Chain A
Amino acid sequence: MTKVLVLVEHDNASVKDATLAAVTAAGQLGEVTALVAGANCDGAAQAAAQIAGVAKVLKADDASLDNALAENVAPLVAGLMADYDAFVAPATTTGKNVAPRVAALLDVMQISDILSVEGPRTFTRPIYAGNAIATVESSDAKLVITVRGTAFAKAATSGGNASVETVSATADSGLSSFVSAEIAKSERPELTSAKIIVSGGRALKDAATFEQIITPLADKLGAGIGASRAAVDAGYVPNDYQVGQTGKIVAPEVYIAVGISGAIQHLAGMKDSKTIIAINKDEDAPIFQVADIGLVGDLFTLVPELTGKL
Protein backbone atom coordinates (compact mmCIF):
# COMPACT_ATOMS: atom_id res chain seq x y z
CA MET A 1 0.00 0.00 0.00
CA THR A 2 1.33 3.40 -0.95
CA LYS A 3 1.92 5.53 2.12
CA VAL A 4 1.30 9.24 1.71
CA LEU A 5 2.37 12.01 4.07
CA VAL A 6 0.21 15.14 3.84
CA LEU A 7 1.36 18.54 5.10
CA VAL A 8 -1.45 20.01 7.17
CA GLU A 9 -1.82 23.77 6.86
CA HIS A 10 -3.01 25.16 10.16
CA ASP A 11 -2.82 27.99 12.68
CA ASN A 12 -1.92 25.62 15.55
CA ALA A 13 -5.53 25.62 16.76
CA SER A 14 -7.42 24.56 13.65
CA VAL A 15 -6.88 23.13 10.19
CA LYS A 16 -7.08 25.35 7.12
CA ASP A 17 -9.43 24.44 4.31
CA ALA A 18 -6.72 23.94 1.67
CA THR A 19 -5.58 20.86 3.59
CA LEU A 20 -8.88 19.11 2.85
CA ALA A 21 -8.40 19.01 -0.91
CA ALA A 22 -4.83 17.77 -0.41
CA VAL A 23 -6.18 14.93 1.76
CA THR A 24 -8.60 13.96 -1.02
CA ALA A 25 -5.81 13.94 -3.63
CA ALA A 26 -3.54 11.98 -1.31
CA GLY A 27 -6.32 9.46 -0.66
CA GLN A 28 -6.36 8.70 -4.38
CA LEU A 29 -2.72 7.63 -4.07
CA GLY A 30 -2.80 5.56 -0.89
CA GLU A 31 -3.07 5.61 2.88
CA VAL A 32 -2.98 9.11 4.31
CA THR A 33 -0.91 10.23 7.28
CA ALA A 34 -1.34 13.89 8.19
CA LEU A 35 1.64 15.85 9.49
CA VAL A 36 0.89 18.71 11.85
CA ALA A 37 4.11 20.65 12.44
CA GLY A 38 3.73 23.68 14.68
CA ALA A 39 4.05 25.12 18.15
CA ASN A 40 1.35 24.28 20.70
CA CYS A 41 -0.47 22.65 17.83
CA ASP A 42 -2.49 20.05 19.68
CA GLY A 43 -5.77 21.68 18.60
CA ALA A 44 -4.76 21.38 14.96
CA ALA A 45 -3.60 17.79 15.46
CA GLN A 46 -6.94 16.85 17.04
CA ALA A 47 -8.80 18.54 14.19
CA ALA A 48 -6.65 16.72 11.62
CA ALA A 49 -7.49 13.40 13.31
CA GLN A 50 -11.19 14.06 12.62
CA ILE A 51 -10.72 14.54 8.86
CA ALA A 52 -12.34 11.74 6.90
CA GLY A 53 -9.72 9.62 5.18
CA VAL A 54 -6.84 10.40 7.53
CA ALA A 55 -5.46 7.14 8.95
CA LYS A 56 -2.87 8.62 11.28
CA VAL A 57 -1.70 12.02 12.50
CA LEU A 58 1.92 12.85 13.21
CA LYS A 59 2.32 15.80 15.54
CA ALA A 60 5.64 17.64 15.69
CA ASP A 61 5.25 20.29 18.38
CA ASP A 62 8.18 22.62 18.86
CA ALA A 63 8.79 26.37 19.00
CA SER A 64 11.08 26.07 15.96
CA LEU A 65 8.14 24.85 13.87
CA ASP A 66 5.93 27.87 14.52
CA ASN A 67 4.98 29.87 11.41
CA ALA A 68 5.97 26.93 9.17
CA LEU A 69 9.50 28.18 8.46
CA ALA A 70 10.65 26.08 5.50
CA GLU A 71 14.20 25.80 6.88
CA ASN A 72 12.82 23.86 9.87
CA VAL A 73 9.81 22.08 8.39
CA ALA A 74 11.54 20.69 5.27
CA PRO A 75 14.24 18.66 7.10
CA LEU A 76 11.56 17.23 9.40
CA VAL A 77 9.50 16.10 6.40
CA ALA A 78 12.54 14.81 4.52
CA GLY A 79 13.46 12.67 7.54
CA LEU A 80 9.95 11.28 7.92
CA MET A 81 9.84 10.43 4.21
CA ALA A 82 12.06 7.39 4.88
CA ASP A 83 8.78 5.68 5.79
CA TYR A 84 6.57 7.16 3.06
CA ASP A 85 6.23 6.91 -0.70
CA ALA A 86 4.73 10.32 -1.40
CA PHE A 87 4.59 13.78 0.15
CA VAL A 88 1.55 15.90 -0.65
CA ALA A 89 1.08 19.57 0.25
CA PRO A 90 -1.65 22.06 -0.63
CA ALA A 91 -0.52 24.52 -3.34
CA THR A 92 -0.85 27.44 -0.93
CA THR A 93 1.93 29.88 -0.16
CA THR A 94 2.90 27.60 2.75
CA GLY A 95 2.90 24.43 0.65
CA LYS A 96 4.70 26.13 -2.24
CA ASN A 97 7.35 27.40 0.16
CA VAL A 98 8.03 24.07 1.86
CA ALA A 99 7.46 21.32 -0.75
CA PRO A 100 10.23 22.19 -3.27
CA ARG A 101 12.68 22.36 -0.37
CA VAL A 102 11.61 18.86 0.64
CA ALA A 103 11.86 17.68 -2.97
CA ALA A 104 15.43 18.94 -3.35
CA LEU A 105 16.46 17.32 -0.05
CA LEU A 106 15.06 14.02 -1.36
CA ASP A 107 16.50 14.55 -4.88
CA VAL A 108 13.02 14.40 -6.34
CA MET A 109 11.48 16.52 -9.11
CA GLN A 110 8.31 17.99 -7.63
CA ILE A 111 5.00 17.85 -9.49
CA SER A 112 3.42 21.25 -8.87
CA ASP A 113 -0.24 22.17 -8.60
CA ILE A 114 -1.84 18.89 -9.73
CA LEU A 115 -5.37 18.91 -11.12
CA SER A 116 -5.97 15.17 -11.10
CA VAL A 117 -4.45 11.82 -10.20
CA GLU A 118 -4.40 9.71 -13.36
CA GLY A 119 -2.42 6.76 -12.01
CA PRO A 120 0.02 5.86 -9.23
CA ARG A 121 2.71 8.07 -10.81
CA THR A 122 0.74 10.05 -13.39
CA PHE A 123 -0.88 13.45 -12.87
CA THR A 124 -2.27 16.38 -14.81
CA ARG A 125 -1.11 19.90 -14.09
CA PRO A 126 -1.68 23.32 -15.64
CA ILE A 127 1.13 25.06 -17.52
CA TYR A 128 1.26 28.43 -19.29
CA ALA A 129 -1.27 30.01 -16.94
CA GLY A 130 -3.65 27.11 -17.50
CA ASN A 131 -3.65 27.61 -21.26
CA ALA A 132 -2.38 24.05 -21.54
CA ILE A 133 -2.75 20.96 -19.38
CA ALA A 134 0.21 18.59 -19.17
CA THR A 135 -0.07 14.94 -18.23
CA VAL A 136 3.19 13.95 -16.55
CA GLU A 137 4.58 10.70 -15.22
CA SER A 138 7.25 10.65 -12.53
CA SER A 139 10.21 8.30 -12.57
CA ASP A 140 11.40 9.29 -9.10
CA ALA A 141 11.51 6.76 -6.28
CA LYS A 142 9.34 9.00 -4.12
CA LEU A 143 6.76 11.58 -5.11
CA VAL A 144 6.54 15.20 -3.99
CA ILE A 145 3.31 16.88 -5.04
CA THR A 146 1.43 20.11 -4.47
CA VAL A 147 -2.33 20.09 -4.99
CA ARG A 148 -4.54 22.76 -6.53
CA GLY A 149 -7.29 23.25 -3.99
CA THR A 150 -10.04 23.97 -6.48
CA ALA A 151 -9.42 20.75 -8.43
CA PHE A 152 -10.29 18.27 -5.67
CA ALA A 153 -13.33 17.90 -3.43
CA LYS A 154 -12.73 18.81 0.18
CA ALA A 155 -12.47 15.88 2.59
CA ALA A 156 -15.06 16.03 5.38
CA THR A 157 -13.83 17.64 8.58
CA SER A 158 -15.49 14.97 10.68
CA GLY A 159 -15.93 11.24 10.55
CA GLY A 160 -12.28 10.39 10.89
CA ASN A 161 -10.84 8.87 14.03
CA ALA A 162 -7.09 8.80 13.54
CA SER A 163 -4.57 8.22 16.30
CA VAL A 164 -2.19 11.08 17.05
CA GLU A 165 1.45 10.11 17.31
CA THR A 166 4.13 12.52 18.47
CA VAL A 167 7.33 12.89 16.46
CA SER A 168 10.29 15.07 17.39
CA ALA A 169 11.27 18.15 15.48
CA THR A 170 14.70 18.35 13.93
CA ALA A 171 17.00 20.92 15.52
CA ASP A 172 16.28 24.58 14.73
CA SER A 173 18.32 25.41 11.61
CA GLY A 174 19.16 28.82 13.04
CA LEU A 175 19.06 30.12 9.46
CA SER A 176 15.77 31.97 9.59
CA SER A 177 13.46 33.56 12.10
CA PHE A 178 9.93 34.90 12.08
CA VAL A 179 9.71 38.67 12.59
CA SER A 180 6.07 39.60 12.11
CA ALA A 181 2.92 39.04 10.12
CA GLU A 182 0.28 41.40 8.84
CA ILE A 183 -2.77 39.25 8.45
CA ALA A 184 -5.96 41.01 7.49
CA LYS A 185 -8.76 40.15 9.88
CA SER A 186 -12.01 39.94 8.02
CA GLU A 187 -15.49 38.63 8.60
CA ARG A 188 -15.67 37.96 4.92
CA PRO A 189 -15.31 34.41 3.53
CA GLU A 190 -11.77 33.48 2.49
CA LEU A 191 -11.30 33.85 -1.24
CA THR A 192 -10.29 30.26 -1.86
CA SER A 193 -13.35 28.88 -0.11
CA ALA A 194 -15.95 31.60 -0.83
CA LYS A 195 -19.12 30.49 -2.66
CA ILE A 196 -19.50 33.90 -4.26
CA ILE A 197 -16.71 36.30 -5.17
CA VAL A 198 -17.01 39.91 -6.31
CA SER A 199 -13.81 41.02 -7.99
CA GLY A 200 -12.79 44.48 -9.09
CA GLY A 201 -10.33 45.71 -11.70
CA ARG A 202 -8.40 48.78 -12.63
CA ALA A 203 -11.57 50.53 -13.78
CA LEU A 204 -12.45 51.06 -10.10
CA LYS A 205 -10.14 54.14 -10.14
CA ASP A 206 -8.82 54.17 -6.58
CA ALA A 207 -9.01 52.50 -3.18
CA ALA A 208 -11.94 54.61 -1.97
CA THR A 209 -13.99 53.97 -5.11
CA PHE A 210 -13.20 50.25 -4.99
CA GLU A 211 -14.49 50.15 -1.41
CA GLN A 212 -17.52 52.24 -2.25
CA ILE A 213 -18.58 50.19 -5.30
CA ILE A 214 -17.45 46.63 -4.59
CA THR A 215 -17.90 46.26 -0.83
CA PRO A 216 -21.68 46.93 -0.62
CA LEU A 217 -22.34 44.39 -3.36
CA ALA A 218 -20.12 41.80 -1.66
CA ASP A 219 -21.85 42.51 1.68
CA LYS A 220 -25.26 42.02 0.11
CA LEU A 221 -24.21 38.67 -1.37
CA GLY A 222 -22.09 37.49 1.58
CA ALA A 223 -19.27 37.29 -0.95
CA GLY A 224 -15.49 37.29 -0.78
CA ILE A 225 -13.69 40.17 -2.46
CA GLY A 226 -11.05 39.67 -5.11
CA ALA A 227 -9.17 41.87 -7.53
CA SER A 228 -7.18 41.83 -10.71
CA ARG A 229 -3.44 42.32 -10.65
CA ALA A 230 -3.87 45.83 -12.03
CA ALA A 231 -6.10 46.81 -9.11
CA VAL A 232 -3.65 45.38 -6.58
CA ASP A 233 -0.62 46.97 -8.25
CA ALA A 234 -2.44 50.31 -8.22
CA GLY A 235 -2.91 49.94 -4.47
CA TYR A 236 -6.73 49.74 -4.42
CA VAL A 237 -6.58 46.59 -2.26
CA PRO A 238 -3.90 44.47 -0.51
CA ASN A 239 -1.89 41.78 -2.31
CA ASP A 240 -3.83 38.87 -0.84
CA TYR A 241 -6.88 39.93 -2.89
CA GLN A 242 -5.19 39.09 -6.18
CA VAL A 243 -6.83 36.42 -8.32
CA GLY A 244 -4.78 35.04 -11.18
CA GLN A 245 -1.96 32.88 -12.50
CA THR A 246 0.39 33.95 -9.75
CA GLY A 247 -2.16 35.04 -7.17
CA LYS A 248 -5.02 32.99 -5.82
CA ILE A 249 -6.76 30.33 -7.85
CA VAL A 250 -10.48 30.39 -7.13
CA ALA A 251 -13.49 28.42 -8.34
CA PRO A 252 -16.59 29.74 -6.57
CA GLU A 253 -20.19 29.05 -7.53
CA VAL A 254 -20.48 32.60 -8.81
CA TYR A 255 -17.68 34.96 -9.80
CA ILE A 256 -18.67 38.54 -10.53
CA ALA A 257 -15.96 40.44 -12.43
CA VAL A 258 -16.46 44.18 -12.24
CA GLY A 259 -14.37 46.41 -14.49
CA ILE A 260 -11.96 43.58 -15.24
CA SER A 261 -10.94 43.26 -18.89
CA GLY A 262 -9.87 39.62 -18.58
CA ALA A 263 -6.14 39.28 -19.26
CA ILE A 264 -5.12 35.62 -19.64
CA GLN A 265 -3.26 35.85 -16.35
CA HIS A 266 -6.48 36.81 -14.57
CA LEU A 267 -8.59 34.23 -16.39
CA ALA A 268 -6.09 31.59 -15.24
CA GLY A 269 -7.16 32.24 -11.67
CA MET A 270 -10.94 32.15 -12.05
CA LYS A 271 -12.03 30.37 -15.21
CA ASP A 272 -13.07 27.25 -13.31
CA SER A 273 -15.76 29.21 -11.49
CA LYS A 274 -19.18 27.64 -12.00
CA THR A 275 -20.88 30.80 -13.22
CA ILE A 276 -18.98 33.89 -14.34
CA ILE A 277 -20.72 37.24 -14.48
CA ALA A 278 -18.98 40.21 -16.06
CA ILE A 279 -19.84 43.88 -15.86
CA ASN A 280 -17.71 46.01 -18.17
CA LYS A 281 -18.18 49.07 -20.32
CA ASP A 282 -16.16 47.60 -23.21
CA GLU A 283 -18.32 45.05 -24.99
CA ASP A 284 -15.24 43.60 -26.69
CA ALA A 285 -13.40 42.96 -23.40
CA PRO A 286 -11.97 39.40 -23.34
CA ILE A 287 -13.79 38.72 -20.06
CA PHE A 288 -17.04 38.41 -22.06
CA GLN A 289 -15.56 35.44 -23.96
CA VAL A 290 -15.63 33.38 -20.77
CA ALA A 291 -18.55 35.00 -18.97
CA ASP A 292 -21.86 33.13 -18.73
CA ILE A 293 -23.71 36.35 -18.14
CA GLY A 294 -22.49 39.71 -19.35
CA LEU A 295 -23.74 43.21 -18.74
CA VAL A 296 -22.25 46.00 -20.82
CA GLY A 297 -22.27 49.46 -19.31
CA ASP A 298 -20.90 51.90 -16.80
CA LEU A 299 -20.08 50.02 -13.60
CA PHE A 300 -20.39 53.21 -11.54
CA THR A 301 -24.12 53.28 -12.18
CA LEU A 302 -24.81 49.58 -12.79
CA VAL A 303 -23.18 48.14 -9.67
CA PRO A 304 -24.91 50.45 -7.14
CA GLU A 305 -28.18 49.79 -8.99
CA LEU A 306 -27.57 46.04 -8.75
CA THR A 307 -26.72 46.31 -5.05
CA GLY A 308 -29.91 48.28 -4.49
CA LYS A 309 -32.11 45.76 -6.26
CA LEU A 310 -30.82 42.64 -4.53
Chain B
Amino acid sequence: MQALVCVKRVIDYNVKPRVKADGTGVDLANVKMSMNPFDEIAVEEAIRLKEKGVVTEIVAVSVGVAKSQETLRTALAMGADRAILVQVDDGVEVEPLAVAKIIKGIADEEAPGLIITGKQAIDDDSNQVGQMVAALLGRPQGTFANEVSVEGDAVVVKREIDGGLQTVKLALPAVVTTDLRLNEPRYASLPNIMKAKSKPLANKTPADYGVDIAPRLRTLKVTEPPVRSAGIKVPDVDALVAKLKELGVA
Protein backbone atom coordinates (compact mmCIF):
# COMPACT_ATOMS: atom_id res chain seq x y z
CA MET B 1 0.00 0.00 0.00
CA GLN B 2 1.21 3.44 -0.88
CA ALA B 3 1.14 6.31 1.63
CA LEU B 4 0.85 9.82 0.28
CA VAL B 5 2.12 12.44 2.73
CA CYS B 6 1.40 16.11 2.20
CA VAL B 7 3.91 18.60 3.53
CA LYS B 8 4.02 22.40 3.62
CA ARG B 9 6.90 24.81 3.85
CA VAL B 10 6.12 27.30 6.61
CA ILE B 11 7.81 29.77 8.91
CA ASP B 12 9.98 27.91 11.43
CA TYR B 13 8.24 26.98 14.67
CA ASN B 14 10.71 29.01 16.74
CA VAL B 15 10.48 32.26 14.78
CA LYS B 16 8.21 35.00 16.04
CA PRO B 17 6.21 36.26 13.05
CA ARG B 18 6.23 40.00 12.32
CA VAL B 19 3.40 41.75 10.55
CA LYS B 20 4.54 43.86 7.58
CA ALA B 21 4.29 47.59 8.12
CA ASP B 22 2.00 48.01 5.10
CA GLY B 23 -0.50 45.53 6.55
CA THR B 24 -0.39 43.15 3.56
CA GLY B 25 0.81 40.11 5.43
CA VAL B 26 3.55 38.62 7.56
CA ASP B 27 7.16 39.37 6.68
CA LEU B 28 8.80 36.18 5.44
CA ALA B 29 11.88 37.78 3.84
CA ASN B 30 15.06 36.31 5.33
CA VAL B 31 13.06 34.29 7.81
CA LYS B 32 13.95 30.69 8.55
CA MET B 33 11.48 28.32 6.92
CA SER B 34 10.94 24.66 7.81
CA MET B 35 8.55 21.81 7.29
CA ASN B 36 5.25 22.36 9.10
CA PRO B 37 5.74 20.44 12.40
CA PHE B 38 2.49 18.50 12.04
CA ASP B 39 3.58 17.39 8.56
CA GLU B 40 6.86 16.09 9.98
CA ILE B 41 4.74 13.91 12.23
CA ALA B 42 2.83 12.76 9.13
CA VAL B 43 6.06 11.79 7.35
CA GLU B 44 7.28 9.98 10.47
CA GLU B 45 4.04 8.02 10.76
CA ALA B 46 4.26 6.90 7.13
CA ILE B 47 7.85 5.76 7.72
CA ARG B 48 6.84 3.79 10.82
CA LEU B 49 4.05 2.11 8.84
CA LYS B 50 6.60 1.23 6.18
CA GLU B 51 8.96 -0.15 8.81
CA LYS B 52 6.08 -2.33 10.03
CA GLY B 53 5.59 -3.61 6.48
CA VAL B 54 2.14 -2.05 6.15
CA VAL B 55 3.17 0.66 3.71
CA THR B 56 5.34 -0.22 0.71
CA GLU B 57 6.00 3.18 -0.81
CA ILE B 58 5.92 6.73 0.56
CA VAL B 59 5.26 9.61 -1.81
CA ALA B 60 5.70 13.12 -0.39
CA VAL B 61 3.75 15.96 -1.98
CA SER B 62 4.00 19.69 -1.55
CA VAL B 63 2.05 22.50 -3.16
CA GLY B 64 4.04 25.70 -3.04
CA VAL B 65 6.84 27.90 -4.33
CA ALA B 66 10.07 26.52 -5.86
CA LYS B 67 11.78 26.45 -2.47
CA SER B 68 9.24 23.90 -1.23
CA GLN B 69 11.63 21.51 -2.93
CA GLU B 70 13.82 21.81 0.18
CA THR B 71 10.88 20.69 2.32
CA LEU B 72 10.36 17.69 0.06
CA ARG B 73 14.08 16.86 0.25
CA THR B 74 13.70 16.84 4.04
CA ALA B 75 10.86 14.34 3.70
CA LEU B 76 13.00 12.23 1.36
CA ALA B 77 15.91 12.38 3.80
CA MET B 78 13.62 11.23 6.61
CA GLY B 79 12.57 8.22 4.53
CA ALA B 80 10.05 9.06 1.79
CA ASP B 81 10.76 7.27 -1.49
CA ARG B 82 9.89 9.95 -4.01
CA ALA B 83 8.34 13.37 -4.15
CA ILE B 84 6.03 15.53 -6.20
CA LEU B 85 6.27 19.31 -6.14
CA VAL B 86 3.24 21.14 -7.48
CA GLN B 87 4.88 24.46 -8.04
CA VAL B 88 3.41 27.93 -8.04
CA ASP B 89 5.08 31.29 -8.66
CA ASP B 90 6.94 32.96 -5.82
CA GLY B 91 4.60 34.98 -3.65
CA VAL B 92 1.54 32.95 -4.62
CA GLU B 93 -0.35 31.38 -1.73
CA VAL B 94 -2.63 28.48 -2.49
CA GLU B 95 -5.73 28.17 -0.32
CA PRO B 96 -6.60 24.87 1.40
CA LEU B 97 -9.50 24.16 -0.98
CA ALA B 98 -7.23 24.39 -4.05
CA VAL B 99 -4.49 22.38 -2.29
CA ALA B 100 -7.08 19.70 -1.54
CA LYS B 101 -8.17 19.61 -5.18
CA ILE B 102 -4.56 19.18 -6.31
CA ILE B 103 -4.00 16.37 -3.80
CA LYS B 104 -7.19 14.73 -5.03
CA GLY B 105 -5.75 14.89 -8.55
CA ILE B 106 -2.53 13.25 -7.38
CA ALA B 107 -4.44 10.63 -5.40
CA ASP B 108 -6.49 9.78 -8.50
CA GLU B 109 -3.21 8.99 -10.31
CA GLU B 110 -1.30 7.37 -7.46
CA ALA B 111 -4.15 5.50 -5.72
CA PRO B 112 -2.64 5.63 -2.20
CA GLY B 113 -4.16 3.52 0.57
CA LEU B 114 -3.47 6.23 3.12
CA ILE B 115 -3.13 9.97 2.77
CA ILE B 116 -1.45 11.45 5.84
CA THR B 117 -1.02 15.14 6.54
CA GLY B 118 -0.69 17.53 9.45
CA LYS B 119 -3.92 18.63 11.10
CA GLN B 120 -3.04 22.25 10.49
CA ALA B 121 -0.26 24.41 9.13
CA ILE B 122 1.21 26.78 11.67
CA ASP B 123 1.11 29.73 9.27
CA ASP B 124 -2.54 30.10 8.24
CA ASP B 125 -3.86 27.83 11.04
CA SER B 126 -6.73 26.77 8.76
CA ASN B 127 -7.04 23.10 9.73
CA GLN B 128 -8.87 22.16 6.51
CA VAL B 129 -6.84 20.30 3.88
CA GLY B 130 -7.15 16.73 5.17
CA GLN B 131 -10.90 16.94 5.69
CA MET B 132 -11.35 18.53 2.26
CA VAL B 133 -9.25 15.87 0.52
CA ALA B 134 -11.36 13.18 2.20
CA ALA B 135 -14.57 14.90 1.08
CA LEU B 136 -13.40 15.34 -2.52
CA LEU B 137 -12.33 11.70 -2.72
CA GLY B 138 -15.48 10.48 -0.95
CA ARG B 139 -13.28 8.70 1.60
CA PRO B 140 -13.30 8.64 5.42
CA GLN B 141 -11.14 10.87 7.62
CA GLY B 142 -9.35 10.32 10.89
CA THR B 143 -8.49 13.81 12.06
CA PHE B 144 -6.22 14.85 14.97
CA ALA B 145 -4.70 11.36 15.20
CA ASN B 146 -3.05 10.27 18.42
CA GLU B 147 -2.59 6.64 17.37
CA VAL B 148 -2.91 4.93 13.99
CA SER B 149 -3.04 1.21 13.27
CA VAL B 150 -3.87 -0.53 10.03
CA GLU B 151 -5.97 -3.65 10.53
CA GLY B 152 -6.70 -5.50 7.29
CA ASP B 153 -8.67 -3.24 4.98
CA ALA B 154 -9.34 -0.68 7.68
CA VAL B 155 -7.39 1.85 9.69
CA VAL B 156 -8.17 2.42 13.35
CA VAL B 157 -7.50 5.99 14.45
CA LYS B 158 -7.50 7.22 18.02
CA ARG B 159 -8.33 10.93 17.81
CA GLU B 160 -7.60 13.79 20.21
CA ILE B 161 -10.95 15.46 20.89
CA ASP B 162 -11.97 18.23 23.27
CA GLY B 163 -13.14 15.90 26.01
CA GLY B 164 -10.42 13.27 25.68
CA LEU B 165 -9.91 10.59 23.04
CA GLN B 166 -12.20 9.01 20.46
CA THR B 167 -11.43 5.90 18.42
CA VAL B 168 -12.91 5.40 14.96
CA LYS B 169 -12.50 2.67 12.37
CA LEU B 170 -12.19 3.80 8.76
CA ALA B 171 -12.40 1.80 5.54
CA LEU B 172 -9.26 2.14 3.40
CA PRO B 173 -8.35 4.19 1.47
CA ALA B 174 -8.58 6.88 4.13
CA VAL B 175 -7.20 10.27 5.10
CA VAL B 176 -5.43 10.77 8.44
CA THR B 177 -4.44 14.12 9.92
CA THR B 178 -1.85 14.13 12.66
CA ASP B 179 -1.91 15.62 16.12
CA LEU B 180 1.14 16.38 18.24
CA ARG B 181 1.40 13.18 20.19
CA LEU B 182 1.13 10.68 17.36
CA ASN B 183 4.90 10.24 17.31
CA GLU B 184 8.21 12.04 17.63
CA PRO B 185 9.69 12.67 14.19
CA ARG B 186 13.23 11.46 13.57
CA TYR B 187 16.09 13.61 12.43
CA ALA B 188 17.48 12.79 9.03
CA SER B 189 21.00 11.37 9.20
CA LEU B 190 23.75 12.87 7.06
CA PRO B 191 24.02 9.80 4.78
CA ASN B 192 20.25 9.92 4.29
CA ILE B 193 20.38 13.62 3.49
CA MET B 194 22.97 12.84 0.81
CA LYS B 195 20.90 9.92 -0.49
CA ALA B 196 17.80 12.11 -0.65
CA LYS B 197 19.45 14.29 -3.26
CA SER B 198 19.22 11.51 -5.82
CA LYS B 199 15.70 10.36 -5.00
CA PRO B 200 13.14 11.22 -7.72
CA LEU B 201 11.32 14.54 -7.42
CA ALA B 202 8.71 15.31 -10.09
CA ASN B 203 7.81 18.87 -10.97
CA LYS B 204 4.19 19.62 -11.69
CA THR B 205 1.86 22.60 -11.82
CA PRO B 206 -1.73 23.05 -10.64
CA ALA B 207 -2.76 23.09 -14.31
CA ASP B 208 -1.50 19.50 -14.66
CA TYR B 209 -4.37 18.53 -12.37
CA GLY B 210 -6.82 20.99 -13.92
CA VAL B 211 -7.07 22.97 -10.70
CA ASP B 212 -7.84 26.69 -10.65
CA ILE B 213 -5.91 28.19 -7.73
CA ALA B 214 -7.53 31.64 -7.88
CA PRO B 215 -8.21 32.56 -4.25
CA ARG B 216 -11.76 32.58 -2.95
CA LEU B 217 -10.84 34.72 0.04
CA ARG B 218 -9.38 38.16 -0.35
CA THR B 219 -7.15 39.35 2.47
CA LEU B 220 -8.08 42.97 3.03
CA LYS B 221 -5.46 43.57 5.69
CA VAL B 222 -3.24 41.90 8.23
CA THR B 223 -2.69 43.62 11.53
CA GLU B 224 -0.88 43.08 14.81
CA PRO B 225 -3.07 41.67 17.55
CA PRO B 226 -3.79 43.95 20.49
CA VAL B 227 -0.61 44.00 22.53
CA ARG B 228 -0.69 42.91 26.15
CA SER B 229 1.78 44.78 28.19
CA ALA B 230 3.63 43.40 31.14
CA GLY B 231 2.00 44.20 34.44
CA ILE B 232 3.56 44.27 37.86
CA LYS B 233 5.61 41.83 39.83
CA VAL B 234 4.61 41.17 43.39
CA PRO B 235 7.29 40.43 46.00
CA ASP B 236 5.65 37.53 47.82
CA VAL B 237 2.64 35.27 48.23
CA ASP B 238 0.89 37.65 50.64
CA ALA B 239 0.93 40.38 48.00
CA LEU B 240 -0.40 37.91 45.43
CA VAL B 241 -3.20 36.87 47.78
CA ALA B 242 -4.09 40.55 48.23
CA LYS B 243 -4.24 40.98 44.44
CA LEU B 244 -6.44 37.89 44.09
CA LYS B 245 -8.76 39.33 46.70
CA GLU B 246 -8.97 42.58 44.71
CA LEU B 247 -9.96 40.50 41.68
CA GLY B 248 -12.67 38.88 43.76
CA VAL B 249 -11.39 35.34 43.28
CA ALA B 250 -10.16 34.71 46.81
Residue numbers of A with Cβ under 8 A of B are 67, 69-71, 74, 92-94, 96-105, 107-113, 122, 126-140, 173-184, 192, 196, 221, 229, 232-233, 238-240, 242, 245-246, 248, 253-254, 264-265, 271, 275-277, 283, 288-296, 302, 305-306, 309-310
Indicate the member of B26, B100, B166, B236 with the most A CB atoms within 10 Å.
B166
B130, B220, B231: which contacts A122 (Cβ < 8 A)?
B220
- Please give me the residue from chain A that is nearest to B171 by CB atom: A175
B32 within 8 A of A: no
Q: A99 to chain B: which residues have CB within 8 Å?
A: 131
Q: Given A101-B131, A264-B16, A292-B232, is A136 in contact with B220 using a C-beta cutoff of 8 Å?
A: yes
Q: List 14 A-B contacts (CB under 8 A).
A: A96-B131, A99-B131, A107-B97, A108-B216, A127-B124, A129-B125, A136-B218, A175-B171, A176-B169, A181-B166, A240-B162, A271-B225, A271-B228, A293-B234
Q: B124 to chain A: which residues have CB within 8 Å?
A: 127
- Cβ distance B46 to chain A, nearest Cβ, rounded Å: 20
Bound complex: CA A260 to CA B100 (Å) = 37
Within 8 A of A (CB), among B111-144: 119-120, 122-136, 139-141, 143-144
Residue numbers of B with Cβ under 8 A of A are 11, 13, 16-17, 19, 25-26, 38, 95-97, 100, 119-120, 122-136, 139-141, 143-144, 146, 156, 159-171, 174, 179-181, 215-225, 228, 230-234, 236-241, 243-244, 247, 249-250
- The prevalent SS among residues of B at the interface is mixed
Q: B166 to chain A: which residues have CB within 8 Å?
A: 67, 178, 180-182
A100, A113, A253: which contacts B125 (Cβ < 8 A)?
A113
Bound complex: CA A93 to CA B49 (Å) = 26
12 more A-B contacts (CB under 8 A) besides A70-B141, A100-B128? Answer: A96-B127, A97-B144, A98-B131, A104-B131, A107-B97, A110-B97, A111-B217, A130-B225, A133-B223, A239-B181, A293-B243, A295-B240
Asked if B141 and A103 make an inter-chain contact with CB atoms under 8 angstroms apart, the answer reads no
Asked if B127 and A139 make an inter-chain contact with CB atoms under 8 angstroms apart, the answer reads no
A-B contact count (CB 8 A): 255
- Cβ distance B21 to chain A, nearest Cβ, rounded Å: 13
Asked if A253 and B249 make an inter-chain contact with CB atoms under 8 angstroms apart, the answer reads yes
Q: A70 to chain B: which residues have CB within 8 Å?
A: 131, 134, 141, 143
Q: Given A112-B128, A254-B249, is A133 in contact with B164 using a C-beta cutoff of 8 Å?
A: no
Asked if A183 and B97 make an inter-chain contact with CB atoms under 8 angstroms apart, the answer reads no
Indicate the member of A174, A179, A192 with the most B CB atoms within 10 Å.
A179
Nearest 10 interchain pairs by C-beta: A292-B231, A109-B216, A100-B131, A104-B135, A104-B132, A175-B140, A100-B128, A179-B167, A128-B17, A176-B140
- Please give me the residue from chain A that is nearest to B27 by CB atom: A132
A71, A94, A110, A289: which contacts B162 (Cβ < 8 A)?
A94
Q: B221 to chain A: which residues have CB within 8 Å?
A: 134-135
Q: A104 to chain B: which residues have CB within 8 Å?
A: 97, 100, 131-133, 135-136
B131, B217, B230: which contacts A97 (Cβ < 8 A)?
B131
Q: B97 to chain A: which residues have CB within 8 Å?
A: 103-104, 107-110
Q: B181 to chain A: which residues have CB within 8 Å?
A: 232-233, 239
- Please give me the residue from chain A that is nearest to B239 by CB atom: A295
Bound complex: CA A71 to CA B130 (Å) = 13
- Cβ distance B97 to chain A, nearest Cβ, rounded Å: 4
Q: B223 to chain A: which residues have CB within 8 Å?
A: 132-133, 135
Q: Given A71-B141, A132-B222, A134-B222, is A295 in contact with B119 using a C-beta cutoff of 8 Å?
A: no
A69, A221, A233: which contacts B249 (Cβ < 8 A)?
A221
Q: B228 to chain A: which residues have CB within 8 Å?
A: 271, 276, 289-290
Bound complex: CA A105 to CA B237 (Å) = 56
Bound complex: CA A296 to CA B240 (Å) = 11
Asked if B167 and A97 make an inter-chain contact with CB atoms under 8 angstroms apart, the answer reads no
Bound complex: CA A265 to CA B13 (Å) = 9
Bound complex: CA A310 to CA B120 (Å) = 41
Q: A98 to chain B: which residues have CB within 8 Å?
A: 131
- Cβ distance A101 to chain B, nearest Cβ, rounded Å: 4
- Please give me the residue from chain A that is nearest to B10 by CB atom: A128
- Please give me the residue from chain A that is nearest to B235 by CB atom: A295
